[in-house]
Amino acid sequence: MPDLSQRGPRGPATLPASPFAKARRRLQATVLGISLAFGAAAVNAAPLPSHVYVVSNGWHTEIGLSASFFTGPLAAIPRAFPGARYLVFGWGERAFYMSPAPTWTEALRALLPARAVLLVLALGTAPPRAFTAGIHVVVLPLRPSGGKDLAAFLWQSFAKPPSGSLERIAGGPYPASAFYAATGTYDGGYTCNTWTADALRHAGLSVTTAGVVFAGQVMRQVRRLRAESAPPTASP
């Protein structure tokens, strides 16, 4: 499994560590831990291509899918991460998302219209097992038609140069992760969490993007859907 997280030395942040930086460090520690067992994790149960995983660290949401979900042009994504069983996608403002230690200044600047970027993270095991330490994951079923529309949405979210290939910008902050150029404009009205809700809406799930800015607004909707899709509990 390639380690795409190698970057140059990181200088100290100019402002005290923000909650965004703390959340990223917590997630990084989690991902670093699971990456050490990447090979062993690959023997776990077969991936579920008919499910989507919604991941939240409290302020930012992402979606995860089985690597077997990706076919056609999208198959180039898992090929970039040999051995990956699952892929997690996050969309965000480019400067803020790619910052090694995001600060409040960068967060406020991200409220203005700016270019977007996609972070792709490869996992060797399912997200509910991979993420710990305050990272919440909700699993939702996908209908075949919803999977096709979600795939189309993801493909359109990647910016593509004239060659048609995906444009990898840089290694990501975690092992087996990378940043890719993305379409769309990030601003205070369309955030990373709006993008997540939009992806789920395209997947045919009963999720609205109206007024969605924060992670909690997405997670409340997906938890409701999860409760509705759960089988009834048998009476004692």
Q: How far is CA 78 from CA 71, 89, 120, 157, 215, in A?
A: 9, 12, 10, 16, 26
pLDDT digits (tens, 9 = 90+) for 121-165: 999 999 999 987 789 999 999 988 899 999 999 999 999 988 778
Better-scored residue on pLDDT, 109 or 166: 166
**220 pLDDT exceeds 50?**
yes
Mean local confidence (pLDDT), 115-120: 96
Read off the pLDDT of residues 10-58 as tens digits, 9 standing for 90 and up.
222 222 333 444 444 444 434 433 443 343 333 344 444 689 999 999 9
Mean predicted confidence (pLDDT) in 166-181: 93
Nearest CA to 229 out of 195, 196, 206 is that of 206
Q: pTM value?
A: 0.78
What value does the mean pLDDT take over residues 90-113?
77
Residues in Cβ contact with 148 at an 8 Å cutoff, skipping those fewer than 6 apart: none
pLDDT at position 116, please? 95
Please state, in angstroms and rounded to a whole number, the distance separating the CA atoms of residues 92 and 110: 9
The candidate with the shortest Cα–Cα distance to 200, out of 220, 179, 180, is 220
Dist. CA 90–CA 114, nearest whole Å:
16
For the chain, domain boundaries: 19-226
